[in-house]
Amino acid sequence: MGEDTQICPDRVLIIDDEENVLDVISFRLEMEGHQCAVAGNSEDALRTFDQEEFSVLLIDIRLPGMDGIELARRVKLKRPDTSVIMLTAFTDVSTAVDALRVGADDYITKPFNLDEVAISVKNALAKRKLILENTRYHNTLEQRVKDATRQLEATNAELRRTKDYLQNLIDSTADAIVSTDKKGRLTFVGRGAGELLGWNPEEVLGRHAWEFYLGGIEQARQVMKLLYTHKRIKNYEMKWRHTDGTWVPVSVSASLLTDKDGNVIGTLGVSKDITDRVQLEEELKELSIKDGLTKLYNHQCFHERLTAEIERAGRQNRPLSLLLFDIDGFKGYNDTNGHLAGDAVLEKTGEIVFECTREHVDMGFRYGGDEFTVILPEATKQQAQQIAERLRGSFRQCGLGTLTLSIGLMAYDGKVTPKEFIQLVDQFMYTAKRAGGDRVVSETCLGTEDAGKENANNNGSTE
């Protein structure tokens, strides 16, 4: 995207071959203030998409002719900044994951919750706005660096003759401008460096610049290698140490200083504070992997983390366990009490996951609808059982009437793929539900119906 990127109106294109679905979703989104257009197949959708601008597309995966995944791929190729939300039946979750890989931002399972659709569109618009704003900010930042670099290059000859002029020029900018000799010792520190890093020139002049690099002397060698190879560097990101002990992220543009004979006598660098941009990037990353309602990680993040944890467990020969659970009676509760009450239960479930798992160790995810999963690194089956029972007990005590949890549990044995691991734990969860719910079932229970009934009478848990 160029520097003149514009945010188009919040228009939504809904693609589904079921007319009633188009009517219901468009009616709800228009109540939320969005402008909507509809299409019954991929070909009509592409024609409309080519003729008009849309911020978000809601695409049913199963469409006549070209399927929703191919449509999503073509849309992203044409306009990468367009947000895409996939609509899929519950049995199409794996297909929805494929859609996310081609650029879709989210997916919603059928039968869907209109509140969930509205929230997903709202989140997609917010995410898109942040991305576009970040792009414009980045483009502006690049232009500023280019302008500053051109200005510095234009005054290089004057630097050797008019130090006072250079001092006035450098003092006029808030950027940290420093120079070093060919051994990397600081020979000049501008006023901007003092404001950005708290430096007193009298205290830092003569010291090696690498003393203030997060990467130390190794990073200094890398910078010098780049400078000798390319003569200058642009937008090199690193961290400088502030006098208060914190680290300031900066974007550095630097060049070699030479004498009249072309011999290198040092370096000149301009460091721009990019703290705001780094924070924005972190917020965008967080937004892309978190479920907006429960604050747990989302379905896409779950598969990435599970694969990584399985690889780590195998490499280090460490235990790993997985929980998969859903809320017994949730559909009836939701139908009777309304979607807002149902959302409150889901939020509360997310809180319970945070409360009952190990901070900075275990990872909780909203798997979809009222299903949740928890990855338990370094947890044996016995430890996982304790955590699962804590989850089940805490849920029963939080005052949600007859709602309970059915939990499947499995310790990773190194013999199954990540997909098989999930499928097995899913089977254990449904075994718990078939046995009456409000219990924990592990792999040792599968197929032992009598033992399950006996243990069901013992605190609702099977072992």
Question: Could you write out the DSSP letters of every residue in 228-292?
Answer: HHHSEEEEEEEEEEPTTS-EEEEEEEEEEEE-TTS-EEEEEEEEEE-HHHHHHHHHHHHHHHB-T
Residue range 429-449: mean pLDDT, rounded: 78
Q: Which of 116-125, 171-180, 266-275, 294-303 has the lowest mean pLDDT?
A: 171-180
Report d(CA 274, CA 240) in Å as an integer.
11
pLDDT band with cut points at 50, 70 and 90 for residue 210:
confident
* 251 neighbors 272 (Cβ within 8 angstroms): yes
Report d(CA 306, CA 284) in Å as an integer.
22
Domains and CATH numbers, the chain: 11-136 (3.40.50.2300), 155-278 (3.30.450.20), 290-456 (3.30.70.270)
Report d(CA 384, CA 379) in Å as an integer.
6
How many residues does the structure list for the chain? 463
Query: What is the pLDDT of the chain when averaged over all its residues?
Result: 84
pLDDT band with cut points at 50, 70 and 90 for residue 242:
confident
Residue range 402-411: mean pLDDT, rounded: 94
pLDDT band with cut points at 50, 70 and 90 for residue 27:
very high
- Residue 328 confidence (pLDDT) above 70: yes
For 69-119, how does the pLDDT look when each residue is reduced to its tens digit (9 = 90+)? 899 999 989 998 899 998 887 566 677 677 778 888 888 888 888 988 989
Report d(CA 425, CA 409) in Å as an integer.
6
* pLDDT score at 2: 44
Q: How far is CA 319 from CA 314, 369, 375, 380, 397, in A?
A: 9, 29, 11, 6, 30
* 105 neighbors 131 (Cβ within 8 angstroms): no
Which DSSP category does 113 fall into? P
Whether omega for the bond prior to residue 111 falls within 30 degrees of 0, making it cis, is: yes
CA angle 257, 259, 262 (to 5 degrees): 90
Residue written as tokens 């219990």? Answer: 439
The single-letter code of the amino acid at 194 is: G
Q: How many CA atoms lie within 13 A of 52 on its CB side?
A: 18
* pLDDT score at 94: 72
- Residue 42 confidence (pLDDT) above 70: yes
- Residue 403 confidence (pLDDT) above 90: yes
Q: Mapping DSSP to helix (H, G, I), strand (E, B) and coil, where does residue 381 land? A: helix
Q: How many CA atoms lie within 13 A of 392 on its CB side?
A: 26
Query: Which among 31-45, 89-103, 182-196 has the top mean pLDDT?
Result: 31-45
Q: What percent of the chain is modeled with pLDDT above 70?
A: 87
- Residue 458 confidence (pLDDT) above 50: no
For 412-431, how does the pLDDT look when each residue is reduced to its tens digit (9 = 90+)? 988 899 999 999 999 999 99
- Direct distance between the N- and C-terminal alpha carbons of the chain, in angstroms, rounded to an integer: 56
Residue range 182-200: mean pLDDT, rounded: 82
- Residue 350 confidence (pLDDT) above 80: yes
Report d(CA 390, CA 356) in Å as an integer.
6
Query: Per DSSP, what are the bridge partners of residue 327?
Result: 405
- Residue 452 confidence (pLDDT) above 70: no
Q: Which of 4-8, 233-237, 300-304 has the lowest mean pLDDT?
A: 4-8
Residue written as tokens 């990019």? Answer: 274
- Residue 25 confidence (pLDDT) above 80: yes
- The pTM of the full predicted model, rounded to 2 decimals, is 0.45
Residue range 33-47: mean pLDDT, rounded: 92
- Residue 358 confidence (pLDDT) above 50: yes
* pLDDT score at 133: 86
* pLDDT score at 345: 93
Report d(CA 100, CA 94) in Å as an integer.
10
pLDDT band with cut points at 50, 70 and 90 for residue 461:
very low
Nearest of 419, 415, 355 to residue 387 by alpha carbon: 355
Report d(CA 329, CA 228) in Å as an integer.
68
Quick one: tokens of 57? 């597309």
Residue range 311-331: mean pLDDT, rounded: 93
Is residue 327 packed enough to be buried (19+ CB in 10 Å), middle (13-18) or exposed (0-12)? Answer: buried
